């Protein structure tokens, strides 16, 4: 099949040459189809098999880990039961206190101070907590008057929204400042919580629009990056105070006590803050420390002949012993009213002469450059020994002595490194251990398993307390605070208005606004609601429970493997139950009779009336004014552009307040 091609185009004529047409092989369809399809099917089949294999392998791995965990738990079950019974008996003292209403709840003001301002830059020294403002007497009346006017101005919604939006538009108004500003606002507007709620709703609607249309709606309320997100946290803290006192506080307090008690039953390294009994693998005391329990007969100087028996460990450092003694002797006082460890001395009277016990003194043992903190075993204190606890007297002499001790102690601390139970590895030791690193690896595997058993046994012992707390928080029914119902309904309502908000997103919104924003914060910081001290070791275990609680509130499935973090392995069995509890809670709240705006307002007005006069409102206004002053020009500009603000002469009012307050600067 040969042909000659000639092309004519306009006037031109070209001879292109010959073109050969291949003869078309007419393959029959029944051959083509199998020839293409068979390899295709084969490839698909192979990949399916591979995938199945892989997922089966993952599944098998998961099953294996689960099975091993179950076996481990089974092996510690009896021990847990016994330890749990012991713990219950030993906690009886405290539970007696609890039933007598002796849970050391903080009052509303201290609670809000701590929740709002303790995490701020200055911590406990923040002016909102100390409440001290330096205003000269001569200026006080003017300042008070101007601040009241400023308060009136804040009560104008137009002004406040402009104020907040202006600040948020400024790059130097950072996340920390936003959080602080929102908390100041909460205190300043505490007298009118209905209004505060209205502002919060308005701002939230704006934030929602933003996330639903231009960002990922699932990330709404995830962090505290705007003023309103922090306002919501504070609103929840305000509205749930009563619920904490009435319902969830008791199981939380018991959980805290149980953790503390369980940890203190075993050795705790005072220096590296690791414990034998803990839920947190990073806080686990690795080496096996030999110890036994001692009972000390404690006399308190100047408080009569009554002897208090106190259980301690012979490996406890002297400060730890003091803590345990104070805990027992002053158990009826809240933490803030007890003497501090530094303000007491401990004297041991083995014979006719006494010996002052302290963490470091001339008898302290040395190991090379290391000094070992003194323990009861170091002093050879025996079971049933009598010790005397006395307050450090602040007379001149003892002050000097104390001062010397202090300096001596500092000198000791600077010279050498100190350790308590386990000596951290030196560079020298590290060199040695490098050589045996391969062997070490297989060792650590075995060791982690042993330690996991220990974590599991602590977990089993505390299980009841954890469950009780979760149940009290996630109990739907009449005890659900109206604020929760009100806010969840608000979220449901808003979700309906947007098409791209599915059920999972609503779940996340609820989780972000209540469990993560409020409960995790309280669970990790029991000292926000109770007058207690949370030590680092207790904190490490509380973090694990808080993490579990957070996991329970998410929708995503966590598949376990050998490399999963140990806190996930620890609660692998319970997590699905907890997840179900969260689902049921959200469902239960949805089914409740709704809370009307009016009911909510009545409730809020009640809170305002009951607590506002105790708060540092004037200080908050003063601090807020500093923001107004810092961003003054921007605020004035935004007010000038807003017709609603113009008609209310807001600019003028702010200028007058500024004139009255700035005067102070020239006065000083
Ligand atoms: C412990 O000491 C107290 C008084 O110091 C004494 O009455 C008691 O019998 C002692 N108990 C034991 C078991 O030694
Ligand atoms: C364990 O404790 C460490 C240090 O206290 C902490 O940083 C970590 O978050 C804790 N682990 C968990 C899972 O909470």
For 384-415, how does the pLDDT look when each residue is reduced to its tens digit (9 = 90+)? 999 999 988 764 444 444 455 555 555 555 55
Does residue 540 line the site of ligand 2, with CB under 6 A? Answer: yes
Atom of ligand 1 nearest to the CA of 297: 5
Which of these, 255, 256, 219, lies nearest to 516 by C-alpha position? 219
Ligand nearest to the CA of 523: 2
Q: Who wins on pLDDT, 96 or 195?
A: 195
Strongest mean pLDDT among 200-204, 367-371, 394-398, 438-442: 200-204
Ligand nearest to the CA of 569: 2
* Percent of the chain as helix, strand, coil, to the nearest 5: 65, 10, 25
Which of these, 257, 249, 266, 263, lies nearest to 111 by C-alpha position? 249
DSSP assignment of 161-214, as one string? Answer: HHHHHHHHT-TTS-HHHHHHHHHHHHHHTGGGHHHHHHHHHHHHHHHHHHHHHH
Element (DSSP H or E) covering residue 553 = helix 536-553
Atom of ligand 1 nearest to the CA of 384: 1
Strongest mean pLDDT among 273-277, 399-403, 464-468: 464-468
Does residue 278 line the site of ligand 2, with CB under 6 A? Answer: no
Strand 370-372 versus strand 417-419 pairing type: parallel
Angle subtended at Cα 552 by Cα 549 and Cα 558, rounded to the nearest 5 degrees: 120
Residue nearest to atom 8 of ligand 1 (CA): 384
Strand 344-348 versus strand 307-313 pairing type: unpaired
- Residue 392 has phi, psi (to 5 degrees) of -70, 125
- What does the chain come to in residues? 668
Note the pLDDT of residue 556: 83
DSSP 8-state secondary structure symbol assigned to residue 332: T
Cβ distance 180 to 224 under 8 Å?
no
- Residue 123 has phi, psi (to 5 degrees) of 55, -130
Residue nearest to atom 13 of ligand 1 (CA): 384
CA–CA separation, 336 vs 49, rounded Å? 65
CA of 143 to the centre of ligand 2 (A): 47
Cβ distance 644 to 158 under 8 Å?
yes
Note the pLDDT of residue 661: 85
Ligand nearest to the CA of 543: 2
Note the pLDDT of residue 488: 96
Q: Which of 293, 294, 295, 297 to mutate to test the pocket of ligand 1 (most atoms within 8 A of CB)?
A: 297
Which of these, 382, 383, 380, 362, lies nearest to 371 by C-alpha position? 362
Question: Given pLDDT bands bounded at 50, 70 and 90, which one contains residue 463?
Answer: very high
Q: Report whether pLDDT(173) > 80.
A: yes
Note the pLDDT of residue 479: 85
Residue nearest to atom 6 of ligand 2 (CA): 540
- Give per-residue burial for 150-185: e unless 16+ CB within 10 Å, then b: bbebbebebbbbbbbbbbeeeeebeeebbbbbbbbb
Does residue 57 line the site of ligand 1, with CB under 6 A? Answer: no
Percentage of the residues of the chain whose pLDDT score is greater than 70: 84
Which of 65-79, 502-516, 632-646 is least confident? 65-79
* Phi-psi region at 273: left, alpha or beta (left = phi > 0; alpha = psi -120 to 50): left
DSSP 8-state secondary structure symbol assigned to residue 342: G
* Phi-psi region at 354: left, alpha or beta (left = phi > 0; alpha = psi -120 to 50): beta
Threshold 0.85, pTM exceeds? no
Note the pLDDT of residue 452: 76
CA of 274 to the centre of ligand 2 (A): 11
Which of these, 299, 177, 69, 203, lies nearest to 631 by C-alpha position? 177
Percentage of the residues of the chain whose pLDDT score is greater than 90: 49
Sign of CA dihedral 621, 622, 625, 627: negative
Strand 307-313 versus strand 293-300 pairing type: antiparallel
CA of 425 to the centre of ligand 1 (A): 42
CA–CA separation, 647 vs 361, rounded Å? 75
DSSP 8-state secondary structure symbol assigned to residue 244: I
Atom of ligand 1 nearest to the CA of 295: 1
Q: At what angle do helices 482-497 and 597-611 cross, to 10 degrees?
A: 140
Does residue 251 line the site of ligand 2, with CB under 6 A? Answer: no
Q: How far is C-alpha 81 from the chain's CA centre?
A: 29
Q: Report whether pLDDT(41) > 50.
A: yes
Does residue 174 line the site of ligand 1, with CB under 6 A? Answer: no
CA of 381 to the centre of ligand 1 (A): 14
Tokens representing 586?
A: 């959200």
CA of 350 to the centre of ligand 1 (A): 13
Which CATH architecture fits 103-239+597-668?
Answer: Orthogonal Bundle (1.10)
Angle subtended at Cα 62 by Cα 57 and Cα 67, rounded to the nearest 5 degrees: 120
Cβ distance 18 to 2 under 8 Å?
yes
CA of 543 to the centre of ligand 2 (A): 6
- Residue 374 has phi, psi (to 5 degrees) of -65, 140
Which of these, 396, 394, 355, 398, lies nearest to 378 by C-alpha position? 355
Q: Who wins on pLDDT, 26 or 171?
A: 171
| Domain extent listing, the chain | 103-239+597-668
Which of 380-394, 464-478, 608-622 is least confident? 380-394
Q: Report whether pLDDT(92) > 70.
A: no
Helix (H, G, I), strand (E, B) or coil at 454: helix
Q: Which of 299, 384, 385, 386 to mutate to test the pocket of ligand 1 (most atoms within 8 A of CB)?
A: 384
Question: Given pLDDT bands bounded at 50, 70 and 90, which one contains residue 668?
Answer: very low
Q: How far is C-alpha 85 from the chain's CA centre?
A: 29
CA of 338 to the centre of ligand 1 (A): 27
**Tally of CA atoms within 13 A in the half-sphere of 520 that contains its CB:** 18
CA–CA separation, 220 vs 642, rounded Å? 28
- Quick: pLDDT tens for 565-589: 778 888 888 999 999 999 999 999 9
Element (DSSP H or E) covering residue 653 = helix 650-667
What mean pLDDT do residues 451-477 have? 89
Question: Given pLDDT bands bounded at 50, 70 and 90, which one contains residue 70?
Answer: confident
Which of these, 350, 343, 581, lies nearest to 472 by C-alpha position? 581
């Amino acid at each position: 099949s040969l042909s000659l091609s000639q092309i004519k185009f306009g006037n031109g004529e070209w001879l292109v040459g010959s073109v050969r047409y291949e003869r078309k092989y007419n393959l029959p369809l029944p051959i083509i189809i199998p020839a293409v399809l068979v390899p295709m099917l084969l490839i698909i089949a192979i990949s399916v098999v591979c995938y199945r294999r892989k997922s089966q392998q993952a599944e098998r791995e998961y099953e294996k880990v689960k099975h091993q965990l179950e076996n481990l738990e089974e092996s510690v079950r009896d021990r847990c039961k016994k330890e749990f019974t012991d713990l219950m008996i030993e906690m009886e003292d405290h539970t007696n206190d609890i039933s007598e209403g002796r849970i050391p709840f903080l009052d509303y003001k201290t609670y809000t101070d701590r929740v709002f301002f303790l995490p701020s830059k200055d911590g406990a020294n923040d002016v909102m907590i100390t409440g001290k403002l330096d205003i000269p007497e001569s200026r006080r009346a003017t300042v008070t008057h101007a601040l009241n006017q400023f308060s009136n101005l804040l009560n104008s919604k137009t002004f406040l929204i402009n104020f907040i939006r202006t600040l948020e538009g400024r790059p130097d108004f950072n996340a920390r400042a936003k959080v602080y500003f929102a908390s100041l606002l909460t205190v300043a507007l505490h007298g009118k919580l209905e209004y505060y709620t209205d502002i919060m709703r308005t701002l939230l609607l704006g934030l929602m629009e933003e996330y639903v249309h231009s960002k990922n709606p699932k990330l709404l309320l995830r962090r505290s990056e705007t003023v309103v997100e922090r306002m919501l946290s504070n609103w929840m803290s305000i509205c749930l105070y009563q619920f904490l006192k009435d319902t969830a506080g008791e199981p939380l307090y018991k959980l805290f006590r149980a953790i503390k008690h369980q940890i203190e039953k075993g050795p705790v390294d005072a220096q590296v803050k690791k414990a034998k009994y803990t839920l947190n693998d990073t806080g686990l005391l690795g080496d096996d420390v030999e110890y036994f329990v001692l009972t000390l007969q404690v006399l308190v100087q100047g408080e009569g002949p009554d002897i208090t028996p106190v259980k301690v460990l012979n490996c406890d450092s002297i400060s730890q012993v003091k803590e345990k003694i104070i805990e027992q002797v002053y158990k009826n006082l809240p933490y803030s009213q007890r003497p501090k460890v530094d303000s007491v001395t401990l004297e041991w009277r083995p014979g006719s002469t006494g010996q002052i016990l302290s963490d470091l003194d001339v008898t302290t043992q040395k190991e090379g450059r290391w000094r070992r903190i003194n323990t009861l075993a170091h002093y050879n204190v025996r079971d049933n020994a009598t010790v005397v606890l006395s307050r450090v007297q602040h007379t001149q002499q003892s002050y000097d002595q104390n001062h010397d001790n202090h300096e001596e102690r500092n000198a000791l601390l600077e010279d050498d490194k100190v350790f308590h139970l386990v000596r951290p590895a030196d560079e020298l030791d590290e060199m040695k251990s490098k050589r045996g690193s391969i062997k070490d690896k297989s060792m650590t595997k075995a060791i982690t398993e042993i330690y996991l058993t220990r974590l599991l046994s602590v977990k089993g012992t505390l299980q009841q307390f954890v469950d009780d707390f979760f149940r009290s928080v996630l109990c739907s029914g009449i005890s659900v605070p109206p604020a929760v119902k009100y806010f969840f309904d608000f979220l449901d309502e808003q979700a309906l208005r947007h098409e791209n908000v599915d059920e999972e997103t609503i779940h996340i919104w609820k989780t972000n606004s209540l469990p993560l924003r409020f409960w995790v914060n309280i669970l990790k910081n029991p000292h926000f609601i109770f007058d207690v001290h949370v030590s680092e070791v207790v904190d490490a275990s509380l973090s694990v429970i808080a993490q579990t609680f957070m996991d329970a509130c998410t929708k995503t499935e966590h598949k376990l493997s050998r490399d999963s973090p140990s806190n996930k392995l620890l609660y692998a069995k319970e997590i699905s139950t907890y997840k179900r509890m969260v689902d049921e809670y959200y469902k239960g709240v949805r089914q409740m009779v709704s809370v009307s705006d009016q009911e909510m307002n009545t409730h809020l007005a009640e809170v305002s009336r009951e607590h506002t006069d105790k708060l540092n409102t004037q200080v908050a206004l003063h601090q807020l004014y500093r923001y107004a002053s810092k961003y003054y020009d921007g605020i004035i500009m935004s007010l000038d552009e807003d017709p609603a603000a113009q008609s209310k002469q807001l600019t003028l009012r702010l200028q007058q307040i500024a004139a009255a307050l700035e005067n102070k600067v020239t006065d000083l």
